[in-house]
Structure 1
Amino acid sequence: MKHPDLNLLTHFDALMTCRSVSRAAEQVGISQPAMSAALGRLRKLFNDPLLVRENTVWQPTPRGLDLLQEFQPLLSRWRRVTAAGDEEDFDPRRSTRTVSLYATDYMQFTLLPRVLPGLTRDAPNIHLRVMPARLLHGMSMLDTNHVELLAGYFPDPSPNLRARFLYEEPAVCIVREQHPCLRRAWDLDAYLRYSHVDLAAHTGYFSGAIDRLLQSLQRKRTVTATLSSYMVCPYVVAASDLIATMPLSIARATAARSGLVLLEPPLKLPPLSVSLYWHERYQDDSGHAWLRQYIAGKVALP
């Protein structure tokens, strides 16, 4: 292939980031058979499979990853130059864009009531598509372009991801009204006397901090159940003698109607730091930047 088509560069980028022929085709705006043909030409050009199937998932080969790293600076520069002329043209009131946001039920609870009411007025034709969170899939969803934004806490994002801090939130313990622990002084012994509900939620931020601190004290708690949903946790606690440690905003919002008592954790837990994450490919996208700024401007926890 003496004079390869330069369009193959964008096809290659889409295939490597989406890791799916159909999604790559959708991103580039061509048919799936055309993208399959492009993959065949790329494989012939580089004498490498580039993508191989592992179980049910397509993964880049080492050669494919090396090429992606080599081409990314060129692709990033191309996006910046070609997007520069669109800055003045972006009008949120006229945009019909769909943007996918990956978020747990906790993140949806804290973000969406603050963002969506104004967004429907200020950008009435933008469609925010919220994707439910799945354990251990957060960062990979950005890498493979399944979603364009992610809200949450991730301590070690990859170098090709950008982040913007949104807010910090402290932890609080919740127990039901009339819980037997309320008959005595609330301290670490009372906290550990009863079983706990844990929250898996991807990084397990508060639960991980609790267990590390307890280990340093040579203490241990009993976890009866681990839930994936922040929103169901208060109702489980309200119907039992279980204790949960969770973000203050959800506990405060559900306490009155669930019959809960909020207590200070008997351990010094660091607050949860929440950020908005996106892939480098969207850094200079004017519409994407506008939505990032809009979300950040609307989010402020009391």
Structure 2
Amino acid sequence: MNLLELFDVVWRTRNLTVAGEQLGLSQPAVSHALARLRRTYGDALFVRLPRGVEPTPLAVRIAPVVSDALRAIRDTLAKPTFEPQAARRHFRMAMSDIGERFFMPRLWMHLAREAPGVSCECLSPGLDELQQGLASGEIDLAVGFFPGLGAQIRRQALFSERFVYLAQKKHPLLRGDGGAAALRHTPHVLASPPGSHHLAAVERVLMRRDVRVPIVLRVRSFLSIGPIVAETDLVSPIPSNLAQIIAGHLPLRLIEPPIELPSFDVCMYWHRRFDDDPALGWLRRLMAETFGTQAPASSRRATRQAMSHAH
């Protein structure tokens, strides 16, 4: 590389002294390096004249190739960048049905404005498939609650989520604070999407000996909870952000749980191989800015307001 750099500078300057100054080499070092180049190519390459040097026919022939090769190598040393407005990129993101409903409308508004050439695809893989996909790059980012992904997976918390109850506006559970006793006589519908680890912790609380709620219906998607609760006397504990969205479109109210239910962190996950990928770094920053620690505060305020209206 050093010899080719010398060749390129001598070719451009036609002066050995100037070439040495640009490369920080002494005159003897320049002469020694040029001698090595001549032995390597079996050609004089540059011939001294009264004013500088002139290239031989072989030097003229190889000069563009050397210049292009050096440029290509320098480009590999330049830090890659991501320009959202000009980018053409397809992101594959793993998230639950709740994630799609909560994240994608607002995320897409930002993408349409800031990165019009970017498209997204949502996936719902199992844990093993998610680990492999993040490692291979087939999945760019996972968003939600995915414990146990391994030491190679990076994790960044966006916000802490909690469960609230969703019920009809005039449901008896809204009247008074009966604690666990009130729940024991209230039929429940629970959503159990595949791979939702935090739901097992909620169900363990609901099935404790001092609680024992009647679970009369199970569904696979949280997105069906709203219509079911709106048309029946069932209640359901669901994440507060989704509850707020559902209650804004159906005649439902949010209720503070009479018992303490576990909370969980909603996080972003990616493989450490892609720590410095500029496109994925931009996407992670966008997610953090849009849904990070400031977003939950406004969400909690809205949830408290929705609960106050119920009473």
1:96-245 equivalence runs, <5 A: 96-131=88-123, 133-134=124-125, 136=127, 138-143=130-135, 145-182=137-174, 185-214=177-206, 217-245=209-237
CA 1:83–1:244 in 2, change beyond 3 Å: closer, same or farther?
A: farther
Deviation at 1:234, TM superposition (A): 1.2
Q: Amino acid of the residue matched to residue 203 of structure 2?
A: D
Query: Hey, what does 2:8 align to over in structure 1?
Result: none
CA distance in 2, matches of 1:156, 1:291: 23
Give the alignment partner of residue 268 of structure 2, picking from 273, 276, 282: 276
Deviation at 1:264, TM superposition (A): 0.9
Deviation at 1:130, TM superposition (A): 1.9
Deviation at 1:287, TM superposition (A): 1.4
Query: Hey, what does 2:288 align to over in structure 1?
Result: 296
CA distance in 1, matches of 2:228, 2:130: 26
Q: What SS does the corresponding residue of 1:210 show, helix, strand or coil?
A: helix
Q: What SS does the corresponding residue of 1:242 show, helix, strand or coil?
A: coil
CA contact (8 A) 2:166 2:236 kept: yes
Larger Rg: 2
CA distance in 2, matches of 1:83, 1:155: 39
Q: What per-residue deviation string (whole Å, max 9, x for no partner) do you get for residues 207-227 of structure 1? A: 323333355545422222222
CA contact (8 A) 2:183 2:211 kept: no
Query: Hey, what does 1:287 align to over in structure 2?
Result: 279
Q: What SS does the corresponding residue of 1:293 show, helix, strand or coil?
A: helix
CA distance in 2, matches of 1:191, 1:234: 19
CA distance in 1, matches of 2:202, 2:224: 21
CA distance in 2, matches of 1:206, 1:164: 17
Q: Amino acid of the residue matched to residue 166 of structure 1?
A: L
CA distance in 2, matches of 1:83, 1:245: 54
CA distance in 2, matches of 1:284, 1:115: 22
CA distance in 1, matches of 2:79, 2:230: 51
CA distance in 2, matches of 1:213, 1:262: 19
CA contact (8 A) 1:83 1:286 kept: no
Q: What SS does the corresponding residue of 1:273 show, helix, strand or coil?
A: strand
Normalized per residue, which structure has more helix? 2
CA 1:282–1:211 in 2, change beyond 3 Å: closer, same or farther?
A: same
Query: Hey, what does 2:38 align to over in structure 1?
Result: none
Q: How many residues align?
A: 220
CA distance in 2, matches of 1:267, 1:138: 33
CA contact (8 A) 1:135 1:201 kept: no
CA 1:167–1:117 in 2, change beyond 3 Å: closer, same or farther?
A: same
CA distance in 2, matches of 1:193, 1:140: 45
Q: What SS does the corresponding residue of 2:280 show, helix, strand or coil?
A: helix
User: Are 2:264 and 1:247 equivalent residues in the alignment?
Assistant: no
Q: Amino acid of the residue matched to residue 87 of structure 1?
A: K
CA distance in 2, matches of 1:162, 1:121: 28
CA 1:200–1:214 in 2, change beyond 3 Å: closer, same or farther?
A: closer
Q: What per-residue deviation string (whole Å, max 9, x for no partner) do you get for residues 8-52 of structure 1? A: xxxxxxxxxxxxxxxxxxxxxxxxxxxxxxxxxxxxxxxxxxxxx
Query: Hey, what does 2:86 align to over in structure 1?
Result: 94
Q: What SS does the corresponding residue of 1:258 show, helix, strand or coil?
A: coil
CA distance in 2, matches of 1:172, 1:154: 21
Q: What are structure 1's unaligned runs of at least 5 residues?
A: 1-81
CA distance in 1, matches of 2:80, 2:105: 29
CA 1:140–1:265 in 2, change beyond 3 Å: closer, same or farther?
A: farther
Deviation at 1:280, TM superposition (A): 2.3
Q: What per-residue deviation string (whole Å, max 9, x for no partner) do you get for residues 130-157 of structure 1? A: 22x2555544543454421111102222
Q: What per-residue deviation string (whole Å, max 9, x for no partner) do you get for residues 41-66 of structure 1? A: xxxxxxxxxxxxxxxxxxxxxxxxxx
